[in-house]
Structure 1
Amino acid sequence: MKASSIGTRRLALIGLGILLVAAMSYVVMRSGPLAPTRVTVVQAAEGQITPQLFGIGTVEARRSYLIGPTTAGRVRSVTVDVGDTVKTGQPVAEMDPVDLDERTAALDASVARAGSAMAAAEAQRRDAQARRELAAVNARRYVELGRQNFISTGAVEARLQEEASADALVNTADANLAAARQDQQRLAAERAGLRQQRANVRLLAPADGVVTSRDAEPGSTVVAGQAVLRVIEPSSLWVKVRLDQARSGGLAVGLPAQIVLRSSQGRPFPGKVARVEALSDSVTEERVAQIGFDQVPAGLSVGELAEVTLSLPATAKTVLLPNAAIKRRQAQTGVWVIDAGTLRFTPVRIGQAGLDGQIQVLDGVNPGMTVVVHSEKEIGERSRITVVDALTGRQP
C-alpha cells in the first residue's frame, strides 16, 4: 500500500516537472532569447512622389544701402531715426562743411579774376592784330616803292621787319589769350568740384525705404565710406536659406516655396526661388538659395528666422517604400524581403525621397513584394520572425 502511494506521488511529480519544463520552453520560445523577432512589413506598391527640400533661413534685404560721407568729417546733424520711412532724395543727415564755403568763395573770386585776365588778353590780341594789319600795309607800300627805286633797300627791309614783329606780337597775344582761357576753365572745374564736395555734405536717401540702423550721432567723427545710416527697401525682403546638397538636385529658379516665419507659426506664405547661389558651403555641405515672397508680409523684420519648404516636380510612377525599410549590409543598400516565409536581403537602387518618409526604389523590388520595415533587433537570412502590426504594445 505504501509502495503504491509512493509511486503515485512520483508520477505526479514527474508530470508536474514535465509541465513546468513545457511551460518554460513555451515562455522561452515566445518571449525569451529564442523567441522569433517581431517585424512590421509593407506591401511594395507603385506611386508618384513629390520631392521636397526643407531648410532654415533668415530674412534679408535684397537692396540695402549704407549712407555715409565721401570724405572724413564730423557729423553735424541726423534728421531721421530707426524705423522712419524715407523718400528718394530726402535729406537724412548732414556733415560739418568746415571751410568748404570759404574755399568756394575764394574760387569764385579767382574765376572772376581769370575772366578779367582773359578780357585783357583779348584786348591785347585785337591791338596786336591792328598793328599787324598796319605793318602789312606799310610793308607792301615800301616794297612797291623799292621796286620803283624811290626808296632804299634798307628802308624796305625795315618795314618788312616791322611786319614780322607784328605777326609775332599777334601770336604772343593768341597764346596769352589761350592761357587765360585755360586758367579760367581750370578754376571753374575746381569750383565745380568744391561745390560737389559741399553738396556731398548733405546725405540724401538713394531710394524709398526704411531706416534700419543709425550708426553715428551728431558730434561724432566718421571716415570716408563709414555708414551713418542704413536703409533697406521693404519690398525687396527675401529669405536666404541653406539646403542639403545631397537633396538639392532639382533646385532651380522659379520653384514654388512655402515660407513659415517664426513670428507666424502655422501660417505659411507662398513664394518662389528667386536666385540660387553659385557658391556652396563645403564645410556644412549646403547650397544657398534666395527665396522671394509672392507678397511681402506686413511687419516683416530683417534677421527673422524662417522655415522654407520647396516643392520639386512630381516623379514618374515607381515602387515606393518607407525610408525606414532601406538598410545597409556589407556596403550594399537593400531591403529585407519575405519570400515564402523566409528572409532574403535584396540590393536596391533608390531615387528621390519625400518629406513624408517615402522613397523611390528604381530597381530590385517589384510591386506586391512583402518588405520588412521595422524589426525589434537585427535580423539575418536564418532569423525566425513573426509579423506584427506594431512593435509597441503587448506581444501577440
Structure 2
Amino acid sequence: MRLKYRNRQYLVWIVFPLLLFLLLGCSQESESSPRETPAPPQEQGEWVPVQRKTLRHFIPAVGTLQARQITQIGSQVSGRVQEVLVDVGDIVHKGQVLVRLDPTFFQIEVAQRKADVAAARAHLDAIKQSVKTAQADVKRAQVALEDAALQLARMKELWERPAGEKPYVQKQQYDQAVFKHQQAMANLEAAQARLQEVQARWQEASFRLQQAQSALRYAEERLRETEIRAPYDAVVSKRLVDPGEPVVSGAMVTHLLEVQDIRVLELEFSLPQEFLAQVQPGTPVMFRIEGIEEGRGKIDTVFPALDETTRSFRCRVLIDNADRRLRPGLLVQVQVVQEATDVLAVPRQALSQTASGWQVVVDEDGTPTPRRVEVGLLTQEEAEIREGLQEGERVWIAGSRGEG
C-alpha cells in the first residue's frame, strides 16, 4: 500500500510541472504574435480594399441611320411634265429647279389677267376724271349759291320796308332774286348727288381693279409653280415621273421626286427598359459601321413612350454627315457609355443581394461584419458604392484564392 501511494505522488510531481510549462508557452506565443487580419468567413476568399476609380460600362445595341428630313415632292398645279432636270443620287440645293411642267396654258392665263388689270385701271382712270369734274361742279354750285343768297338778302332789305314806306325795288325784281336763290340751291344739290354717284362708281372700279390685280398675282404664282424647286439642300432618292406624264394636284397629288436631307443623319436604336433611369440626353455613345466608319456622339433624344411589345425605349443620336459618306439605312453597332468618375468601387464579387438590398462583408476591427450599401454603376467586374463604405476599408470576396 505504501509503495503505491509513493508512486502516485511521484507521478503528480512530474506531470504537473510539464502541464504548467505547456500552458505558459502557448500563452506567450499568443501574446507575442497578434492577428492583423480578421478571422475570415468559413468559405475560401480574400480581403480587398475599397478604392477610388473611374468605372465604365458599355450597353450594346443595334441601330439604323435615317435621314433627318424626307420629302416626297409634288406640284401645286396640274399639268404635263416638260422636263425632269435631276436624277437619283444628284445633290440639289434649296431653290434649285428640279422639274418643269408645260407652262403654255399658264402663260395664256397670265396674259389674260394682265389685260383685265389694264382695262380695270383705264376704267378707274376715267372715273377719276369724272370725280374731278363733279367736284368742280359742286364748287361752282356752292359759289353760285353764295352769290344768290347775297343778292336775295339785298333785295329783301330793299323790298321789305317799314309800314307807310314805299319799297325801293319792284316786286318782280324781288321775286327774281328768290327764284335765283332757289335755283342755285337745286343746282348744288344736283351737283352733290352727281359727285356721290361718281364716287360710288370710283369705289366699285377700285374694287374691280384690286380683284383683277389679285387674279393676276394668282395666275403669275401658278405660272411660277410650273417650276418645281428643291425645298432644302438634299440628295434625290427617288425619281417618279418622266417627261410627258400628266401631273395632278389636290387630293390625288402626283409625286414627282423624293429627296432626303442627309447632311445630318439620325441614328436610332432601342434599349431595354431597365436602363431607362441611366440614359438621358447627353449620355455618350460609341458607334461602328462595319467597313465604313467608327465614331462617337451623344444621345440627343430619349423617346418618352416605351414599346409595349418589347418593353424597350428608343434613343436618337445626331451624326454629322457633311461629306455625305454615310447613307440612310446603314446598320450601326452601338455602345452606350456609362461612366462614373472618381467614385468608390469594389469588385462585383463582394456584393450579395438580400431582401433589403445590396450588402458586403466588411472588416470591422478584426470582425467580419455584413453591411448594407447603396450601389450605383454596375460593370461586369466592379460596382460603384455610393453609400455605406469609405475609402480604405476592406471587404470580403468569397471564392477567390489569396489571403485566407
TM-score by length of 2: 0.69
DSSP-derived class of the 2:271 partner: strand
Shift of 1:345: 10
- Map 1:196-345 onto structure 2 (within 5 A): 196-218=221-243, 219-224=245-250, 227-264=255-292, 268-273=294-299, 275-283=300-308, 284-293=310-319, 299-322=325-348
Deviates most, 58-67 or 357-366: 357-366
Contact 1:319/1:367, CA 8 A, preserved across alignment: no
Contact 1:104/1:195, CA 8 A, preserved across alignment: yes
Which of residues 86, 92, 95 in structure 1 aligns to 2:92?
Answer: 86
Distance 1:154 1:297 in 2: 96
Structure 2 residues without counterparts, runs of 5 or longer: 1-42, 156-172, 364-368
DSSP-derived class of the 1:62 partner: strand
Contact 2:360/2:395, CA 8 A, preserved across alignment: no
Shift of 1:160: 0.7
Contact 2:75/2:228, CA 8 A, preserved across alignment: yes
Q: Match of 1:371, as an amino acid? A: A
DSSP-derived class of the 1:177 partner: helix
Shift of 1:328: 7.0
Aligned to 1:156: 181
Q: Match of 1:270, as an amino acid? A: R
Shift of 1:315: 4.6
RMSD (Å), alpha carbons: 3.6
Q: Match of 1:100, as an amino acid? A: F
Q: Does 1:188 align with 2:213?
A: yes
Shift of 1:175: 1.9
Shift of 1:197: 1.7
Contact 1:272/1:294, CA 8 A, preserved across alignment: no
Which of residues 103, 106, 117 in structure 2 aligns to 1:111?
Answer: 117
Aligned to 1:17: none
- Map 1:130-145 onto structure 2 (within 5 A): 130-145=136-151
Contact 1:269/1:293, CA 8 A, preserved across alignment: no
Aligned to 1:13: none
DSSP-derived class of the 1:101 partner: helix
C-alpha spacing 1:327/1:66, structure 2 compared with 1 (3 Å)? farther
Aligned to 2:398: 371
DSSP-derived class of the 2:129 partner: helix
Q: Does 1:123 align with 2:129?
A: yes
Distance 2:294 2:44 in 1: 35
C-alpha spacing 1:239/1:222, structure 2 compared with 1 (3 Å)? farther
Deviations 1:50-99 (A, max 9, x none): 23333221111224443221245544432111111112221101234573
C-alpha spacing 1:84/1:107, structure 2 compared with 1 (3 Å)? same
Contact 1:270/1:294, CA 8 A, preserved across alignment: no
Greater Rg by CA: 2
C-alpha spacing 1:332/1:178, structure 2 compared with 1 (3 Å)? same
Distance 1:281 1:303 in 2: 23
Contact 2:264/2:321, CA 8 A, preserved across alignment: no
Distance 2:80 2:45 in 1: 75
DSSP-derived class of the 1:213 partner: strand
C-alpha spacing 1:360/1:258, structure 2 compared with 1 (3 Å)? same
C-alpha spacing 1:226/1:60, structure 2 compared with 1 (3 Å)? farther
Shift of 1:136: 2.1
DSSP-derived class of the 1:302 partner: coil
Deviates most, 209-218 or 45-54: 45-54
Aligned to 2:56: 50
Distance 1:263 1:349 in 2: 43
How many residues of Structure 1 are paired with residues of Structure 2 in the alignment?
A: 328
